Amino acid sequence: MNKTLSQVTEELAAKRKVLHEVFEEAGEDMDFSKVKTLEGDSQAKVDAVKAMNKELDDLEIERVKLEELEKIKGDNDGIYKKLINSTEEIYPGRKEETKVEIKPIGQLFQESKAAENKLLVHKVDIDTKTLFQTSAGWDPEATRIPRVELYPLRELSVVDYIPMGTTNMDTIKYMKESTFTNNAAEVAAGGQYGEAALVYTETSDEVEKIGVWLPVTDEQLEDVAGITDLLNQRLTYMLKARLDSQVLVGDGSTPNLLGTLNLSSLQSQAKGADSTPDAIYKAMTLVRSTGFANPSLVICHPNDWQAIRLLTTADGIYIFGSPSEAGPDRIWGAPVLQTTAQTENTAIVGDYRQYSMLFMKRGIEFQVTNAHSDYFIKGKQAIRCDLRCSMVHFRDTAFCEVTGI
């Protein structure tokens, strides 16, 4: 059963309370032998804490998604109510028009007194004039219902899996350890120590701007109830959709963000003769063995996940669950994000949780002006909105591209 936002929030609070109590018991020296809340030895308690933290991360992702849905619902309800009110103001108290029942001659005869007493002469009133209907007159007046059916667009979900931070800088700079030479070794009495080498390099990712604008007439803004909220909602979606795509495919050349697929040291795993699940597991192994990271997410196109979901054994049993069930959107223990923002026939395996972050310089900002071109004398307005952010991948080798699936 799907959980509500309040249920997820309560579950988050309860679990965080338990984790807080664990750390309170462990104390500043992190001595897990003092912890009474959890059972087992110190290592078992540490493993339990890690498992609890993962549950909290998953719940937090679910909570963010539910909050986004609540916001969309709230925005839509606001627009809907305004449109309903505007219709009621134009046609107050409008009632359904009375429909005239048209009966055939046979029915009229059966309902008349002539059918009751066949020995007497009776008259049956039959209208022989041309029926005034759509084909002989005109269609009745009709007013649009309040519903606005929006253009079918993909769900925005990629950034939900990327940690977010804020910045007041125009460039995100950080130090990256580019050389690590470990010559630690056993030393005999009077022997020479091995010399280590560490080199640090300043790395930067620019804060870029994503923007869009829309021309609107003064009359549209003044006469159509709820149009401002609708335009704000759609323009906001346009910005978020572009951001959702850029964090994956941006080429990093200003003003583009640097997406995962264009990282300079991005690892790659070809499917070749392997099955797609096998290729994805090999990519996970590369992330673990070369990137020394733990894959937190697999991103693929819905068509590619379809091929995986429909895999069957030799006797026709579905590997990823019965057709009567939704089935888990997980593979090898990692959640799977299906999105058309990802290039078809290619998947991404990566540790977004620890080695990526989306820094927001500024959220979405709206501006309206009639100073553009000849808009002032033609009664038009330009609505502009934009945001500024930077996508950072701290460790390229924590991500791997699976090709040819």
**pLDDT value, residue 356:** 96
Higher pLDDT, 338 or 89: 338
Residue 275 predicted with pLDDT over 90: yes
Residues 291 and 295: their CA atoms lie apart, in Å, by 10
Mean pLDDT of 377-395: 94
pTM value surpassing 0.85: no
DSSP 8-state assignment for residue 345: T
- Segment among 178-187, 215-224, 259-268 with least mean pLDDT: 215-224
Higher pLDDT, 105 or 200: 200
Residue 106 predicted with pLDDT over 70: no
Place 134 in a pLDDT band, splitting at 50, 70 and 90. low
Place 222 in a pLDDT band, splitting at 50, 70 and 90. confident
**pLDDT value, residue 383:** 92
- Segment among 133-142, 181-190, 199-208, 282-291 with least mean pLDDT: 133-142
Residues 231 and 367: their CA atoms lie apart, in Å, by 12
Mean pLDDT of 378-402: 95
Residue ranges of the alpha helices (H) in 133-272? 218-223, 227-249
Mean pLDDT of 251-275: 95
Higher pLDDT, 50 or 106: 50
Q: Angle 277-283-284 (CA atoms, 0-180°, nearest 5)?
A: 90
**Closest residue by Cα to residue 66 from 5, 2, 6:** 5
Query: Which pLDDT tens digit goes with each residue over 278-311?
Result: 999 999 999 999 999 999 999 999 999 999 999 9
> Over the chain, what is the mean pLDDT?
85
Place 12 in a pLDDT band, splitting at 50, 70 and 90. confident
**pLDDT value, residue 133:** 53
Q: Which residue has the tokens 């409008």?
A: 94
Residue 73 predicted with pLDDT over 90: no
**pLDDT value, residue 19:** 81
Residue 97 predicted with pLDDT over 80: no
The SS3 assignment for 124 reads coil
Query: Which pLDDT tens digit goes with each residue over 347-373?
Result: 999 999 999 999 999 999 999 999 999
Contacts of 4 (CB under 8 A, 6+ apart): 66
Query: Which pLDDT tens digit goes with each residue over 19-46?
Result: 888 888 888 877 878 888 888 888 888 8
Place 88 in a pLDDT band, splitting at 50, 70 and 90. low
- Segment among 61-75, 127-141, 239-253 with least mean pLDDT: 127-141
Place 244 in a pLDDT band, splitting at 50, 70 and 90. very high
Contacts of 398 (CB under 8 A, 6+ apart): 287, 291, 292, 293, 350, 351, 354, 355
**pLDDT value, residue 117:** 57
Residues 66 and 101: their CA atoms lie apart, in Å, by 50
**Closest residue by Cα to residue 403 from 261, 259, 246:** 261
Residue 108 predicted with pLDDT over 60: no
Q: Bridge-partner residues for 338, per DSSP?
A: 300
**pLDDT value, residue 309:** 93
**End-to-end CA gap in the chain:** 33
Query: Cis peptide leading into 163, omega within 30 of 0?
Result: no
